[in-house]
Amino acid sequence: MLNEWDAVWDLHEDECPCDVHFVEFLEAEGRANASIFHFGTGAHHHVGIRNAQNGSGNAVLGITASRGELDAYVKLALERPEISRSYKVWFGDIYILEERLLPEFDVVTLFHLCEFRGEKNDAYGALTDLDLARLMIRKLRPGGCLLFYTGSMAFEATRAVIAELEARGLVEPAGAYKTLLLYRKPDIAKVAPSW
């Protein structure tokens, strides 16, 4: 049985501002026409809606394991089809993504890394958090941006994954924006072959 998240997350900026900070970061950086992968859409779908409305031309592919969040997306797509032109939501366990089905991205968010991976995922051979991060880095264009959320309930575990990624030369620190840590994928020539 799929490890489904049986809750719905509405926008609570005071508790979890990562999506708001992410949109602010993209706008402050002037990021335009980027392809974005977003882990954890929330029922608010703030990242997809804002990028569809702000004239940036960014396209967002989000993933959720919550039926309620998927239902909220379907309602959004039916009522505001112009949003769904550049914002798509995939339902499923991120830990069983098939790499061949993913395009390349300019930006990837892994805000919820290490939060939901557990024994239920083991039952169907899901990736580990490190394997998932490595997969997403492979799908990230050279120079692309990978973001993590420091307020995550599992950030200490995520910090260990980040350290491993840095040690392997897969990412380089690129600063911070409010609650977000930024990393860049180095040029392919710099990446160690062990990835």
Question: Each residue of 96-135: pLDDT tens digit?
Answer: 999 999 999 999 999 999 998 989 999 999 999 999 999 9
pLDDT at 195: 46
74 neighbors 101 (Cβ within 8 angstroms):
no
184 within 8 A of 143, measured Cβ to Cβ? yes
Show the low-confidence residues of the chain (pLDDT under 70): 9, 188-195
Torsion of CA 51, 56, 61, 65, to 10 degrees: -20
Could you tell me if residue 111 is left (phi over 0), alpha (psi between -120 and 50 degrees) or otherwise beta?
A: alpha
Q: Which residues pair with 145 in a beta bridge?
A: 107, 184
Nearest of 80, 81, 35 to residue 62 by alpha carbon: 35
Superfamily of chain region 18-190: Vaccinia Virus protein VP39 (3.40.50.150)
> Would you list the domain boundaries of the chain?
18-190
